[in-house]
Structure 1
Amino acid sequence: MTHDAAPSPSAGRRFRAYTTKHLDELTARAGLGEAERLAVRAVATVLPFRVNSYVVDELIDWDAAPADPIYRLVFPQADMLPSSDVSRMADLLRRDASRKEINTAANEIRGRLNPHPAGQMDLNVPTADGTDPLEGMQHKYSETVLFFPKQGQTCHAYCTYCFRWAQFVGEPDLKFASGEIDHLVEYLHHHPEVTSVLFTGGDPMIMGDSVLRRYIEPLLGVETLESIRIGTKALGYWPQRFTTDPDADDTLRLFEQVVASGKNLAFMAHFSHPNEMAPALVQDAVRRIRDTGAVIRTQAPLIRTINDDSAVWESMWRTHVRHGMVPYYMFVERDTGPQDYFAVPLAEAYEIFRGAFANVSGLARTVRGPSMSATPGKVCIDGVTEVAGEKVFVCHFIQARDPELVGKPFFARYDEKAVWLSDLEPALGATRFPHEQGPREDASALVGTAHP
């Protein structure tokens, strides 16, 4: 096939990243005063900041900043952390403290932000002899392995809500990644129950074609593997990756190679707001990816101040369907980082989801949510109802560490303030949730164990 890119005002521009050293200049452009800019810089000493020229020039409405949703999506906010922490870091910056002193204070604050939610660091799979864990690989659900390629542990820009923020703050102890694709291939050969591999990070599409190819091509010979997934925000933050970058065509040919091998290539695109789909360059990138035979599925978390409105999600899902993409997930903001700032109560999240879901066609109702990626699995809030005189949340596991729990409804007491699974209590006289009763032995042995 011929990969012809349509002209675009942004086509051909070289990638330029903006980091904390540019933050004061950019926040001044948003109209922030000196004290406000210092508070934002203080937050950015704790949480990561990175944006690029495409997001700055094409996506942010600077006349609407700092209220613009894309601005809020990528720029730290002064109230994302407790005021005492912001004041502490601002004082250090004001008196030009040493980098060591700033890092020590920042790390202490980070430690209180649950940098590894859902037991992420405990999910690394063991080596074939069952001893040391294989770094950068996680096996939480029987059919899926997550792989964190070493060269993909950054992004074209960072989302302020990102639950993997700990990967980006420069602390080695908070990172997990692997450059050993051979270890993954060996693991898959010993675990035929794994039918899908998800490349995640960071963002795997930060890698050039030659590096990406070194990770993907060895998987094409694993017969038991049915699908390869790539989790990425590149369509929203740098669509040039698939249109005018020097290796854009080579990357698309790699996608074609995956499809030609008989495997599904699932392109897991993160779109947080409809404005990310507005530029023609994005729409062209979507078309080019779909032309390879890859399937684009879309997902994002529900985030207060950015997309906590049914109309926003309805618009987003309709736009995705119009361009041939498949709405996949609405996530609940994870219990990490500035969750208190971004979280939407589960009761409100359900109403936002239902409001959007009710106004789209069946083609968009492939989407699931609101879903919490919690320690025992992905828990979906299906509704709010009354059973035996008690108001309850109706829930079910979309995925679970114990496969026996998948698809079975369970109930939690209604709590208008609850924002996460740990805030919920069993309903209808139960003292424990199903996932708190312990997995079956054969289920617990299924995931993340060494081969015989």
Structure 2
Amino acid sequence: MSTPENTGRRFRAYTIRHLDELLQRAKLTEEQRLRTRAVASVLPFRTNEYVLDELIDWDNALEDPMFRLVFPQEDMLPAEDVDRIAHLIKTDAPKAEITGTANEIRFKLNPHPAGQQELNLPKFEDETVEGLQHKYKETVLFFPQQGQTCHAYCTYCFRWAQFVGISELKIASNDVERLTGYVRNHPEVTSVLLTGGDPMIMGETVLSKYIDPLLEMDHIESIRIGSKALAYWPQRFVTDPDADDTLRLFERVVKSGRNLAFMAHFSHHREMESDLVQEAVRRILNTGATIRTQAPLIRTINDTAEQWAGMWRTQHKMGMIPYYMFVERDTGPQDYFSVPLYKAWEIYRDALAQVSGLCRTVRGPSMSATPGKVVVDGVTEVNGEKIFALRMLQARDPDLVGRPFFAKFDENAIWLDHLKPAFADRFPFQQ
């Protein structure tokens, strides 16, 4: 195999340049490999040796959920779009023509769901603050420029548009002073979430530049780091050159009197099975940080109650806190991965019934939609009408937090936009 991309540490990334060789390992035919490469020309592909060697069952790759989690599948895009790109690749079309066609397809896939490109962008000193989102009153999201990639990409990732090389689709900044200046001027903000991409792709020295200024602000109570590193590169906390320095940074946050919440993204039980992951979790917890777990419900990957119950029990035993079951966002290959809302609630309910109360800290199934986080509390019947019971877990308008509301039952609905109000002419968040 050709030499993988070297990121400057022990970590090695495999990208679309290596895809055809990797697919031969999965025993795909030449035509299957061509169509997979066509999809990877639209949706981003990146993986590493740990994922390849520890997580994927290569003897049964086409049926393996971990293979689908990382490797594009030809039916993730409409067949006509795959045909167009495949033809261009097969006929050695110019790279610019392939990229132009791929971009056409990308913009049809709702690359910025839930108002990610805010109309009312945050401002500091009368200038827009790039790389920052302030959707909820108490919480600010940072998108560090140096963290705008991951150790491996999930095929269902709702932030796929960050990784395809189109500058206008990116949300990121390396202006630490402007990012932290905004937070300093907003005392209502108590929690800062570093996200991306994956902030843990950054080394400790860069990560510290974003975190240390926050420790000087009395109104900051918690710092969160959203990351898939525990699943895709646990070496980051065990054997990487700056693993110990990173853990000392976590300790520094905790000793400052803040809560450091590591928001770990686990999509499948297999991601937690290696000794290396368990050692990484132990080391993070020993710093005083907490680890909260979350993932979307994704068809063909984790769409059974048994899978979720098993994940929650294992996470609890390891000292982690089950936190969120999300509904797959309305972007990218949503049709490939989405589960109807009524089915998502059934899976959540049946999984919850299989675990003790200590595991029932998890909330879901939750849609991170434009007005806020909307949870499906259940399907019930009122006055002979079948309905969804819904509730705002979080909202742009704080007055809506915790408010229940109802929608007409629709067995085909997979997102909030597909629902219609019940017993009212509009939802609480609608004007």
Scaled to the shorter chain, the TM-score interval is: over 0.9
The alignment status of 1:143 with 2:157, answered yes or no, reads no
What residue is the counterpart of 1:51 in the other structure? 47
Which of 334, 352, 360 is the aligned partner of 2:355? 360
The within-5 A match list for 1:122-137 is 122=118, 125-130=121-126, 132-137=127-132
How far does the alpha carbon of each residue in 1:235-265 deviate from its partner, in whole angstroms, 9 at most, with x for none? 0000000000000000000000000000000
What residue is the counterpart of 1:295 in the other structure? 290
The farther-off stretch of 180-189 and 407-416 is 180-189
- How far apart are residue 188 of structure 1 and its match? 1.8
What residue is the counterpart of 1:268 in the other structure? 263
Q: Which runs of 4+ in 1 moved over 4 A?
A: none
TM-score relative to the length of structure 1: 0.92
* Structure-2 change in CA distance of 1:124 and 1:300 (3 Å): farther
> What amino acid is aligned across from residue 426 of structure 2 in structure 1?
R
Identify unmatched segments of 5+ residues in structure 1. Answer: 1-12, 438-452
> What amino acid is aligned across from residue 17 of structure 1 in structure 2?
A
Which of 399, 404, 415 is the aligned partner of 2:399? 404
- Whether the 8 Å CA contact 1:376–1:400 is kept in 2: the answer is yes
Q: Quick one: distance in 2 between partners of 1:349 and 1:63?
A: 30
What residue is the counterpart of 1:249 in the other structure? 244
What residue is the counterpart of 1:431 in the other structure? 425
- How far apart are residue 129 of structure 1 and its match? 4.1
- How far apart are residue 161 of structure 1 and its match? 0.2
> Equivalent residue of 1:436, what SS?
coil
How far does the alpha carbon of each residue in 1:362-399 deviate from its partner, in whole angstroms, 9 at most, with x for none? 11100000000000000000000001211000000000
How far does the alpha carbon of each residue in 1:190-233 deviate from its partner, in whole angstroms, 9 at most, with x for none? 21110000000000000001111111111100100000000000
The farther-off stretch of 377-386 and 16-25 is 16-25
- Whether the 8 Å CA contact 1:185–1:222 is kept in 2: the answer is no
- How far apart are residue 14 of structure 1 and its match? 2.7
How far does the alpha carbon of each residue in 1:110-134 deviate from its partner, in whole angstroms, 9 at most, with x for none? 010000001111167432344x321
How far does the alpha carbon of each residue in 1:38-87 deviate from its partner, in whole angstroms, 9 at most, with x for none? 11000000000000000001111111212111111000001000000000
The alignment status of 1:315 with 2:299, answered yes or no, reads no
Q: Quick one: distance in 2 between partners of 1:125 and 1:265?
A: 27
Which of 112, 118, 121 is the aligned partner of 1:116? 112
How far does the alpha carbon of each residue in 1:156-208 deviate from its partner, in whole angstroms, 9 at most, with x for none? 00000000000000111111101112112221222111000000000000000
What residue is the counterpart of 2:346 in the other structure? 351
> Equivalent residue of 1:102, what SS?
helix
Q: Work out which structure has the larger RCO, using CA pairs closer than 8 Å and 6 or more positions apart in sequence.
A: 1
Q: Quick one: distance in 2 between partners of 1:149 and 1:18?
A: 22
What residue is the counterpart of 2:34 in the other structure? 38
* Structure-2 change in CA distance of 1:205 and 1:124 (3 Å): farther
> Equivalent residue of 2:366, what SS?
strand
- Whether the 8 Å CA contact 2:122–2:132 is kept in 1: the answer is no
The within-5 A match list for 1:14-413 is 14-122=10-118, 125-130=121-126, 132-413=127-408
Percent identity over the alignment is 69
> Equivalent residue of 2:58, what SS?
coil
- How far apart are residue 16 of structure 1 and its match? 1.5
- How far apart are residue 312 of structure 1 and its match? 0.3
Q: Quick one: distance in 2 between partners of 1:144 and 1:107?
A: 32
- Whether the 8 Å CA contact 2:122–2:133 is kept in 1: the answer is no
Q: Quick one: distance in 2 between partners of 1:143 and 1:410?
A: 23
Q: Quick one: distance in 2 between partners of 1:134 and 1:357?
A: 41
The number of residues matched between the two structures is 423
- Whether the 8 Å CA contact 1:124–1:133 is kept in 2: the answer is no
Q: Quick one: distance in 2 between partners of 1:14 and 1:218?
A: 29
Q: Quick one: distance in 2 between partners of 1:21 and 1:73?
A: 19
- Whether the 8 Å CA contact 2:340–2:414 is kept in 1: the answer is yes
- How far apart are residue 406 of structure 1 and its match? 0.7
